[in-house]
Every structure is written in C-alpha cells, then in structure tokens.
Amino acid sequence: MGPSGFEALDLAGIFVFAVSGGLAAVNKRLDVVGMVVLAEITALGGGILRDLVIGDVPPTAFTSLGYVLAPLVAAVLVFFWHPQVTRVLPAVQLFDAAGLGLFCATGTLKALDHGLSPLHSVLLGVVTAVGGGILRDMLSGQIPTVLYDRQLYALPALLGASVVAAARALELHGAGVTAGAAVLAFSIRVLAMRHGWRTPRPRGVPD
C-alpha cells in the first residue's frame, strides 16, 4: 500500500477513535478541555506507542498536522452535536470497534513495512489498536476494557492483525486486504457486543 493509502486508513482510525473518546467525555460530564484531551489521547495513543517501538521518531502524530487536526474536528463534532452523533450510532463502543479494526490493520502493516517479523508485527498491531483505548479508560476512571476482555476486545484486534500478516506472507498486497482485515475485526467486536460472546475466566472463578 502506498503512503497516501496508509495515511488515509490511519486518519480514518484516528477520527473514529477520537469520536469514541469525545463521547466518553460526554458520558463522564467532562468540560471541553477534558473532551479534547480524551479525543486526542484515544486517537493518537496507540499510534505513538507503535512508532516509538519501531523507531519511527518523532512519531507521526508530532510531524503530521492532519493527525492532530482530525481528533480536534471529532471533538468539535461531538461537543456541538453529541445528541445527533449518539442517535446515528448510539453506542460509544461502535466507534471504538471501528477504530479497533482500522488500527489493528494499519499498525500491523506499518510494523511489517519496518521489517518486524510477522509475529511481532501482529503484537504491535494489537498494541496500536488497544493503546489509545487503555489510556482513555484510565483517564476517565474506568478499568481498561482490554483487561477484562469479556466481550472480545483484544481478540478481534489479534485476528485482524493476523490476517494482515498472513496476507503479507502470501504476497497479497493492497488497500483491500488491509480494509478487509479491519472489517473482520470490527465485525467480530460488534457481534460479540450484540450476542454477548465472552472469553473464559480461570477455572472456578464465577461470572
């Protein structure tokens, strides 16, 4: 995938994650400053961690104006029109699932492009996908969702990232592969929320 295609997918993930951060701020009754902080952290946290690990410094979030403006646009959208946003897509988790899918795919792709092994690229793709959400949950006073993966949060990201790595190993390239992996992760996450699919707890630990 060319740089422009990768950046477009990355920006899409940044925007939808920022919306989820903004809506989380609304739910916590934060002011505009808190909303912008949560939107920026949710959108950029995972990508910054990814770039630091692969040595792509300074991280893209600090060199591309679009990476900073996209969360700001999302925060403004939520600030003024959050009732309309929640009516169109009523759950914060839906935006979060979209960001999860996009970031697990683009994070894995960027790691592969920087020479990491498929296994390490998959792991970094998962970190890219869940990193911003972890920071969002911690700042808003919640246990990070990934620590109690009861409705399949990290697992969809792992599957999406694995598809990207497997496609590269089979020499399958293009935006379609990356988008398909993102849709797969998104779909599994949404189906898990809808049907209550859960990962098991240790033996003897009650639900």
**Which of 2-6, 25-29, 122-126 has maximum average pLDDT?**
122-126
Instruction: Tell me how far apart the alpha carbons of residues 180 and 6 are, in angstroms, rounded to a whole number.
Output: 14
**Token pair of 53 as six digits:** 């690990």
Each residue's pLDDT tens digit, 96-129: 788 889 889 989 999 999 999 999 999 999 999 9
In degrees, to the nearest 5, what angle opens at C-alpha 125 toward C-alphas 121 and 128? 135
Is residue 1's pLDDT more than 60? no
Average pLDDT, rounded, for the chain = 86
Q: Write down the H helix ranges in the chain.
A: 3-27, 32-54, 65-88, 92-113, 118-139, 154-169, 175-195
Cis preceding linkage at 71, omega within 30: no
Q: Which residues contact 183 (CB under 8 A, 6 or more apart)?
A: 101
What are the residue ranges spanned by the domains of the chain?
A: 3-195
Q: What is the share, in percent, of the chain residues with pLDDT greater than 70?
A: 89
pTM value? 0.82
Each residue's pLDDT tens digit, 150-166: 568 889 999 999 999 99
Is residue 2's pLDDT more than 80? no
Q: Which residues contact 196 (CB under 8 A, 6 or more apart)?
A: 151
Instruction: Tell me how far apart the alpha carbons of residues 144 and 160 are, in angstroms, rounded to a whole number.
Output: 20
Longest dimension (CA), the chain: 51
Residue 71: per-residue pLDDT: 93
Each residue's pLDDT tens digit, 62-96: 988 989 999 999 999 899 887 776 676 556 677 77
Instruction: Tell me how far apart the alpha carbons of residues 103 and 116 are, in angstroms, rounded to a whole number.
Output: 17
Instruction: Tell me how far apart the alpha carbons of residues 48 and 69 are, in angstroms, rounded to a whole number.
Output: 16
- With the CA atoms of 188, 193, 199 and 201 taken in that order, what torsion angle do they form, in degrees rounded to the nearest 10? 170
Residue 105: per-residue pLDDT: 92
